């Protein structure tokens, strides 16, 4: 602690010495401040405050020069039915093609209402999945029977069963949030009786209306949302194929979706994957939301400004010194004694310096101009 106090005293005296030489030595009483001084003290401070406010917004905006494209590299789709007795996956596929928007020829057919006009073409992809599941339906009949009974109990208690559709998107960045998930319950679920008929073979398919949003936006911070301006949803049919073994299929019933996917009528979606900053700093910042960055950044700067501007009256005896040459000589004497190994002299000089700072009268005497 003694060394830290000495360094703090020496640093403050050095600043006082610089202020004396650069400012007070050439300043006459009653002399106006120069325009350059006013400019640096006022306008520059204003721009610093503007930067404090706008810097977090620039980092998360599309105008950030460090941003690079962050496309979707893998997709999976899953349809689950949830009941009191658990949750079963009916349809799941990872066989999805990612088509960049710039290579798509049928812009107007796929996006007729131009929801994507405000977005960069490099950030948009059309996801086209195969209608047949990539996994087989291998649930034993006893499990199916118990699950149907659980669905009936769920319908009696809650009025309907819960059908959940999941989209999983994998990207290269940000680190730690490469995989983003969208999970949403379907509002207009098929009836339990319809599910029972499909499982026992008396019916072939389940009609799912407004199964999921047609447009997704994956943010730079690692969240997936419905595209704000769009209201379109995808409807389809969930079909159980009675093969050996059986498997499920999901067919998109919207004819306009077939144009972009070249006739492939499985699950489809249009995804806007926002750009993310590159580099270690960019990847670290992209893990946090703009609110957390604002709180951290603005509070840190506000704390720094407050430390610089608070208790200014308490600094007058130590910063507005007429002359600090004698005190600097004592500090340099302490350093010289330490270098020569004269520890006793060093300690005597140190406590002399401490006593000067403890006594306003001695401080005034030691800082009188020559």
pLDDT of residue 76: 93
Q: What is the enclosing helix (H) or strand (E) of 310?
A: none
For 43-97, the pLDDT digits (tens) are 777 777 777 777 666 666 655 666 778 888 999 999 998 888 788 888 999 989 8
Nearest Cα neighbor of 99 from 71, 121, 72, 127 is 127
pLDDT reported for residue 93: 92
Q: How far is 346 from 334, CA to CA, in rounded Å?
A: 5
Quote the CA–CA distance of 130 and 344 in Å, as a whole number: 85
Below-50 pLDDT ranges, the chain: none
The residue behind tokens 């590159």 is 278
Strand pairing class (233-241; 86-93): unpaired
Tell me how far apart the alpha carbons of residues 205 and 131 are, in angstroms, rounded to a whole number: 13
Provide φ and ψ at 356, rounded to 5°.
Answer: -65, -45
Give the model's pLDDT for residue 65: 60
Q: What is the pLDDT of residue 364?
A: 85
Per-residue model confidence (pLDDT) at position 107: 57
SS3 283: helix
What is the distance, to the nearest Å, from the Cα of residue 39 to the centroid of all Cα atoms in its chain?
36
pLDDT at 91: 92
Give start and end residues of each alpha helix (H) in the chain. 2-19, 35-38, 44-60, 107-110, 141-158, 192-200, 257-260, 279-285, 290-309, 312-319, 325-340, 343-358, 360-366
Cis ω before 174 (30° cut-off from 0): yes
Give residue 255's pLDDT: 65
Q: What is the pLDDT of residue 282?
A: 58
List strand residue ranges (DSSP E) for 120-192, in order. 124-129, 162-170, 179-185
Distance CA 235, CA 206 (A): 11
User: Facing residues of 179 across strands?
Assistant: 170
> What is the rounded CA–CA span in Å between residue 52 and residue 364?
40
* Distances in whole angstroms, Cα of residue 212 to Cα of each of 234, 279, 350: 6, 35, 75
């Amino acid at each position: 602690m003694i060394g830290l106090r000495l360094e703090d005293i020496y640093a403050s005296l050095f600043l006082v010495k610089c202020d004396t030489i650069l400012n007070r030595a050439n300043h006459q009483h009653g002399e106006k401040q120069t325009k350059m001084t006013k400019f640096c003290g006022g306008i520059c401070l204003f721009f610093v405050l503007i930067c404090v406010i706008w810097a977090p917004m620039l980092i998360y905006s599309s105008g950030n020069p460090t941003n690079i494209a962050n496309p979707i590299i893998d997709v999976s789709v899953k349809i689950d039915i949830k009941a009191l007795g658990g949750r079963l996956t009916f349809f799941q596929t990872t066989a999805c093609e990612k088509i960049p928007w710039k290579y798509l020829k049928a812009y107007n057919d796929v996006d007729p209402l131009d929801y994507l006009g405000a977005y960069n073409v490099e950030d948009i992809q059309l996801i086209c999945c195969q209608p047949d599941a990539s996994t087989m339906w291998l649930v034993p009949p006893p499990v199916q029977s118990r699950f149907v009974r659980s669905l009936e109990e769920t319908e009696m208690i809650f009025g309907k069963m819960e059908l959940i559709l999941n989209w999983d998107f994998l990207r290269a960045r940000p680190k730690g949030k490469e995989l983003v998930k969208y999970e949403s319950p379907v509002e207009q679920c098929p009836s339990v009786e319809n599910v029972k008929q499909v499982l026992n073979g008396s019916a072939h398919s389940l009609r799912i209306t407004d199964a999921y949003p047609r447009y997704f936006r994956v943010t730079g911070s690692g969240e997936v949302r419905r595209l704000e301006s769009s209201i379109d949803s995808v409807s389809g049919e969930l079909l159980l194929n009675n093969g050996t073994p059986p498997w499920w299929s999901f067919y998109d019933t919207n004819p306009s979706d077939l144009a972009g996917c070249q006739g492939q009528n499985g699950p489809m979606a249009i995804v806007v994957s926002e750009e993310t900053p590159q580099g270690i700093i960019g990847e670290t910042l992209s893990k946090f939301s703009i609110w957390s960055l604002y709180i951290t950044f603005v509070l840190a700067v506000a704390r720094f400004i407050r430390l610089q501007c608070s208790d200014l009256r308490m600094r007058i005896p130590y910063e507005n010194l007429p002359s600090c040459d004698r005190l600097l000589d004592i500090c340099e004497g302490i350093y010289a004694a330490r270098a020569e190994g004269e520890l006793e002299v060093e300690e005597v000089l140190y406590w002399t310096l401490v006593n000067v700072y403890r006594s306003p009268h001695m401080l005034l005497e030691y800082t009188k101009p020559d």
